[in-house]
Amino acid sequence: METVLDDNRSGPSGQRIGGNLARAWLVLVLALVLGAALAAVQVHLSPIIAANKRNETLRQIPALVGLEPATLKPGSLEIRSGVFEVPANGTARFYRVFMVRLEGRLAGWVVKTAGQGYADRIEVLIGFDPGVTAITGLFILEQKETPGLGAKIALPSWRRQFVGKKTATRLTVVKGRSAGAGGIDAVSGATISSRSVVRIVNRTVHDLAGRLTPEAVRFAGGES
């Protein structure tokens, strides 16, 4: 034990680097072995995790466009997934959109969007009516906001405020109960998380309103 500590203090720097490498071999070997093990776990499990996320998204879609899944006739609901491209500042933004059709007629849209929250990225699903004139639902797919404060953005009681908001009006965060036409009451103690969601919604609405039509979406072949 003592010789090791002595080695650390003595010797020219060149020798010390070589010595440190020689002594750190265990860390390097472990990093390689554990890294390989993690890569194997990732390769094996990531398709299952992706499928879980996709299923969660698909389960939310009927409610987001204002439909009651239980009251629907089996087979009457058709969900097609596609990509919608919006030109923005010379580049393009891509949205994953789900077109919802009920008995062959367009019933609404669900759009997957995301943005920076207080702690980490927030992933949101937003439901729109067929003409993208009003919001019909909002769901938080992924968030890591502060538990007990910002995490309340995921609660139905808070999300319900977005339902029925017109896409022509820009949404703003208000504090207290004076929510007007475009007002969203902030989660108390979590103004930043609330503003983040509203900013994500506003940007998405700005990109999609008046542009999202079945013809403008590139649908994946055969996916339903």
Partner 1 sequence: MADQPTATERFVQGILPENPVYRQLLGLCSTLAVTNGLKPALTMAGAVGFVLLSANVIISLIRNLLKPHLRIVVFTLIIAAFVTMVDRFLAAYMYSMSKALGPYIPLIIVNCIIICRCEVCASRQSVFTAAADAVGQTAGFALALVSIAAVRELLGTGALAGVRVLPAAWPDWVVMVLPPGAFLTFGLLLALVNWVAARRGGGG
Q: Which of 144, 160, 211, 218 binds partner 1 (CB under 8 A)?
A: 144
Contact yes or no for 95/83 (Cβ under 8 A): yes
In the bound complex, what is the minimum distance in angstroms from residue 179's beta carbon to partner 1? 25
Min separation Cβ 62 and partner 1, Å: 19
Distances (CA, A) of 104 to 101, 107, 123: 6, 9, 29
Using the minimum distance from each CB to partner 1, give the nearer residue, 45 or 181: 45
Q: Output the six-digit token pair for 50.
A: 């992706």
Residue nearer to partner 1 on the CB measure, 144 or 218: 144
Neighbours of 70 (CB within 10 A): 6
Could you tell me which residues come within 8 angstroms of residue 203 by beta carbon, excluding any fewer than 6 positions away? 113, 115
| Least CB distance to partner 1 at residue 4 (A) | 6
Q: How far apart are CA 214 and CA 80, in angstroms?
A: 10
Q: Is residue 216 near partner 1 by the rule CB under 8 A?
A: no
Positions in 7-66 near partner 1 (CB under 8 A): 8, 23-24, 26-27, 30-31, 34, 37-38, 41-42, 45-46, 48-49, 52, 56
**Which residues inside 172-211 make contact with partner 1, applying CB under 8 A?**
none
4 lines the binding site for partner 1 (CB under 8 A): yes
Compare residues 150 and 183 and give the one whose CB is closer to partner 1. Answer: 150
- Minimal CA–CA distance to 220: which of 132, 126, 105, 97? 97
CB of 158 to partner 1, least distance (A): 16
**Of the two residues 117 and 183, which places its CB atom closer to partner 1 in the complex?**
117
Q: Is 160 near partner 1 (CB under 8 A)?
A: no
Number of residues interacting with partner 1: please give it, by CB under 8 A: 25
Residue 81, CA distances (Å) to 47, 61, 101, 195 in order: 18, 11, 11, 28
Q: Does 148 contact partner 1 by CB under 8 A?
A: yes
Nearest to 57 by CA among 120, 119, 123: 123
Burial class (CB in 10 A: 0-12, 13-18, 19+), 10: exposed
Does position 88 interact with partner 1 (CB under 8 A)? The reply is no
Cα 148–Cα 152–Cα 154 angle in degrees, nearest 5: 135
Residues in touch with partner 1 (CB under 8 A)? 1, 4-5, 8, 23-24, 26-27, 30-31, 34, 37-38, 41-42, 45-46, 48-49, 52, 56, 144, 147-148, 151
